[in-house]
Amino acid sequence: MLKGKTPLIIGVVLGLAAFVIGWSGLQRERVNLRKGYNLVPVVVATVDVSEGTVITMDMVSQRSIPEQFITSSVVKPDSASYVIGQKVMVSLQAGDPLLWSQFETSRAAERLTTKVVKKMRAVTIDARASSAVGGWVRPNDHIDVIGTFKDPDTNQQVALTLLQNVVVLATGKITGNTNINLMPEGERTYGNVTLMVVPEEGEILTLAQELGALTLALRNEDDLDTINNRLPTSVRTLFDGERRSIHANERLRIIEVLRGGKKE
């Protein structure tokens, strides 16, 4: 029989062994649970925040959570600056991830009239994605407006550039000051654009919409050149190779200039 402290020592050793085995098993289980998880940082509240509070920098921090639990509605660290200074519409607890849907947009306070330069006008035209560079036209972009009509003299379809280097004021309800990150995904698309033009150009756009279709051509904002006395493009132009060759050579010349005069 075991005597003295031997049974006690054996009991302690067995207890420690059981603890180590149990702790190791728990760690293995945690590793298995995390296996395959890609941790992604998100913005979370560091303190309890009541409804109607304006978020400040010291109210938020970042924490990593598994990627499969993250949707596009979660605020990421690289977009945290967009929610600073914004009013939250729901109460938050410390540790809660911030969602774009929890914030109000300031669109109701926007007034387009403040963005219209004196002696200019804001005119809206229809513009689906197919006619607005696939939806890439954005507020403050510079565009040309191309119209397609039936020539009353020849009864043939013609296309011509109506306006050049026009500034886009808004796409749908989105202006250059709108924080689209605070808007639902479905509200970021648009079916019309608002342009800043002189009154006479507004008349041209209004009549052109009634007579034919309008297409927007996106241009570099530093490209201020305009081309005068440009001839319309007709069906004959499509089949006449002369003009197409001239324009192809012009395009190649521009590309060579941009490449520093080196031909490739």
What is the CATH classification number for the domain harbouring 82?
A: 3.90.1210.10
Query: How many degrees, rounded to 5, is the angle at CA 225 between CA 224 and CA 227?
Result: 145
Tell whether 85 and 124 lie within a shared domain.
Answer: no
Is residue 20 a part of any domain in this protein? no
What mean pLDDT is reported for the chain?
Answer: 83
Distance in angstroms (rounded) separating the CA atoms of residues 179 and 247: 40
Is residue 209 a part of any domain in this protein? yes
Each residue of 88-125: pLDDT tens digit?
889 999 999 999 888 866 444 567 888 899 999 999 99
Q: How many CB atoms lie within 10 A of CB 145?
A: 23
- Candidates 87, 105, 89; CA nearest to 180 is 105
Is residue 29 a part of any domain in this protein? no
Per-residue pLDDT band for 13 (boundaries 50, 70, 90) equals low
Lowest-pLDDT choice from 3-7, 161-165, 242-246: 3-7
pLDDT at 264: 45
pLDDT at 163: 96
Is residue 47 a part of any domain in this protein? yes
Tell whether 226 and 137 lie within a shared domain.
Answer: yes
Would the pTM count as exceeding 0.85? no
Tell whether 81 and 158 lie within a shared domain.
Answer: no
Tell whether 208 and 241 lie within a shared domain.
Answer: no
> Is residue 216 packed enough to be buried (19+ CB in 10 Å), middle (13-18) or exposed (0-12)?
buried
- The answer to whether 172 and 92 are in contact (CB under 8 A) is no
DSSP 8-state code for residue 99: B
Is residue 128 a part of any domain in this protein? yes
Tell whether 96 and 195 lie within a shared domain.
Answer: no
Average the pLDDT over 166-172 and give the result: 94
Tell whether 169 and 149 lie within a shared domain.
Answer: yes
- Candidates 107, 111, 125; CA nearest to 197 is 125
How many structural domains compose the chain? 3
Tell whether 65 and 126 lie within a shared domain.
Answer: no
Q: What percent of the chain has pLDDT over 70?
A: 80
For 58, the domain range is 39-102
Tell whether 114 and 192 lie within a shared domain.
Answer: yes
Give residue 155's region: left, alpha or beta (phi > 0; psi -120 to 50): left
> Is residue 143 packed enough to be buried (19+ CB in 10 Å), middle (13-18) or exposed (0-12)?
buried
Tell whether 143 and 160 lie within a shared domain.
Answer: yes
Tell whether 115 and 195 lie within a shared domain.
Answer: yes
Tell whether 263 and 157 lie within a shared domain.
Answer: no
Distance in angstroms (rounded) separating the CA atoms of residues 87 and 90: 9
Q: Tell which of 67, 83, 102 closes a domain.
A: 102
